[in-house]
Every structure is written in structure tokens, then in C-alpha cells.
Amino acid sequence: MIFPVIFSTFTQLLERSMALKISKSFRNRLERIYLFANTDYYVRYYGSKLGILWAFLNPFFQILIYYFAFSYLIFRQQDPSFILYLFTGVITWQFFSEATKSAISIFQRQRFILQNIGLPKVDFFWSLLASKFWGYLINFIIFILFDIALFHPVFSIRLIYLIPIWLGLAMFTLGICFYLSTFYIYLRDLDHLWSIVLMAGFWVIPIIWDSSIIFEGYEFMMWNPITAFLVQIRQVTLHNEIPDYQYLGLGLTVSFVLAVSGYLFMKYKSKKALEFL
């Protein structure tokens, strides 16, 4: 598998660099996070015949279905680059929705280890985020290759702006994951409610609709961090433009506050997780 190779090269590089001497306990923690992330992937995909391919087939077919539905059936949208707009929207939304859906029952899934060996619960969230972000990254690489192959885009160093945008997206997702998993301890049917929220979210976020044409009175739909990050991702990848700093800054601030408050909430309110689950 490619994942262990990348990981061991990564840790070896870190170890060899003079400036960063990794302590054994920190290295062990990194390894543990990697192992849990890898397990998450394994349990999810390896039982099926097509295995890991499902991680890519799912968004691929979703994009194709929306493209044909909206280009030919509903809007008669004839701009072929609409598929790129959809591509970025679908894979970004998929990252967020998969991570949060999976986080809801994280303590229940991991109780086998929590019950036996004490370890910081936050490590499960790092693993979850790493596993889902890995999938997102691979989908993103496929998007870039697809774009290059069919649309001959102009990419520049501005792609580097994706790093703060992704950081914000990851913080926001992590914050929501902390809150959901902790609430689930006390409200066991939260997963049903969350799937309704996600269903609504799909239409609230500009995944399919054009965020540059917003109806009067509906501007509030632009004021949520996911939309802010998605708009900036498109700005950088589809238009080769720099992000709107004010809009991105606001998204980053809200996400940071959410992640930190979510962590503290999870830390203090999940102590009785094993009693209730």
C-alpha cells in the first residue's frame, strides 16, 4: 500500500532533519493516528470487491449525474466547464459530510479500544480527519488532472492559497465533529437529524447553483464557512485568482473558534461516553 510508504518516508525525513528531533512518544502518537486512519479506510472499503475504488467511483458518478441532469434536463446549461464547478463542489461537500457522518458515532465505534486502553480521545478525531482528508486530496488530484486533460487551464503559484483554505475547512469540519460526537452520547438519534441537516446543506451551499448570482434577500446563504471556503477554492482553481482575504479571514476565524470550543466541549462532556453508549 502506498500510504505506509508515504508515512514512513515522512517520519524518516522529519527524523533526519537536524532541526526536528521527534521524541519517541510523539512519533508513537503520529503512528497511532496513522494506524487508526488506515483502519478506518480498511474497514470501510476492503470488505467490498472493488475496495478502495469506491472512494473515487462514488463522487465520479455523482458528478456525472448532476452534470447531465443540470446541463440537459433542468437548466439546459451548455457551458462544458460547468462540470469543473460541480467537481469542486461535490468533492468538498463529500469531505465535510463523510467526516461529520462518521464522527457522530466515533466513541461507539472505538469503544473496543477506549474500554481497554486509555488514550486521548482527540487522537480518534485526528485519525478521522486524516483519513477523510486523504480521500479528498486524491479526489482533488483527479480533479486537477481532469482539468488539465480536457480544459487546458492556467495554474500558477496561486494554488498555494489552497493551504489556508483547506486548513480552515479542516478546522470547521473538526469543530462540527467534536460537537456532534459529544451530543450523540446523550442523544442517540442525532445521526438521523444530522442526515436531514446534510440534505438541506447540499442545497444551501453553492454546490450546484451559481454563487455569483444570488437573489436579493438571500445573501445570508453566503455567510457560512463552508460556502466561504468553497467559493475561495473555486476562485483559486477555476479562475486562477487570489482569494478574498476578508471573506477567507472571517471563515478562518469562525472555524478556529468552533474547533477550539468544540475540543473543550468534547474533552469535558465526553467523560461519561462509555457509561452511556
Partner 1 sequence: MDNNIAIQLENINKTYVLHDRGNTIRDRFLSVFTGKTTRKLQALNNVNLEIKKGEFFGIIGRNGSGKSTLIQIMNKAIPPDKGGLVKVNGQSMLLALGLGFNSELTARQNITLCSSVLGMSIAEIKERMAEMISFAELDDFADTPVKYYSSGMKSKLMFSIAVNAEADIFLMDEFFGGVGDQNFRKKADEVFHNRLVKGKTIVHVSHQVDTIKKYCDRVMLLEMGQVVMIDTPEKVLQNYK
Residue 117 binding partner 1, by CB under 8 A? yes
Instruction: Tell me how many residues contact partner 1 (CB under 8 A).
Output: 32
Burial class (CB in 10 A: 0-12, 13-18, 19+), 211: middle
Footprint of partner 1 on residues 164-223 (CB under 8 A)? 186-190, 193
Shortest distance, position 216 Cβ to partner 1, whole Å: 36
In the set 42, 60, 82, 263, which binds partner 1 (CB under 8 A)? 42
Range list of H helices, the chain = 2-16, 24-45, 54-68, 82-104, 106-109, 111-114, 122-151, 162-186, 190-204, 225-239, 245-269, 273-276
Whole-angstrom distance, CA of residue 29 vs CA of residue 66: 41
Residue 36 binding partner 1, by CB under 8 A? yes
Residue 31 binding partner 1, by CB under 8 A? yes
Shortest distance, position 26 Cβ to partner 1, whole Å: 12
Residue 39 binding partner 1, by CB under 8 A? yes
Choose one: 75-83, 153-161, 255-263, 266-274; the region binding partner 1 (CB under 8 A).
266-274
Position 102: which residue type?
Answer: S
Contact call for residues 223 and 107 (beta carbons, < 8 A): no
**In degrees, to the nearest 5, what angle opens at C-alpha 176 toward C-alphas 25 and 158?**
80
Residue 5 binding partner 1, by CB under 8 A? no
In the set 49, 118, 200, 217, which binds partner 1 (CB under 8 A)? 118
Choose one: 34-42, 143-151, 209-217, 225-233; the region binding partner 1 (CB under 8 A).
34-42
Residue 35 binding partner 1, by CB under 8 A? yes
Residue 78 binding partner 1, by CB under 8 A? no
In the set 27, 75, 210, 253, which binds partner 1 (CB under 8 A)? 27
Which residue, among 122, 84, 68, 162, has the nearest Cα to 267 in the 3D structure?
122
Note the residue count of the chain: 277
Residue 10 binding partner 1, by CB under 8 A? no
Please give the biggest Cα pair distance in the chain: 60
Q: Cell numbers 478546522 correspond to what residue?
A: 171
Shortest distance, position 192 Cβ to partner 1, whole Å: 9
Cell representation of residue 27: 512519533
Catalog residues that contact partner 1 under the rule CB under 8 A: 8, 24-25, 27-28, 31-32, 35-36, 39, 42-43, 47, 112-119, 186-190, 193, 271-272, 274-276
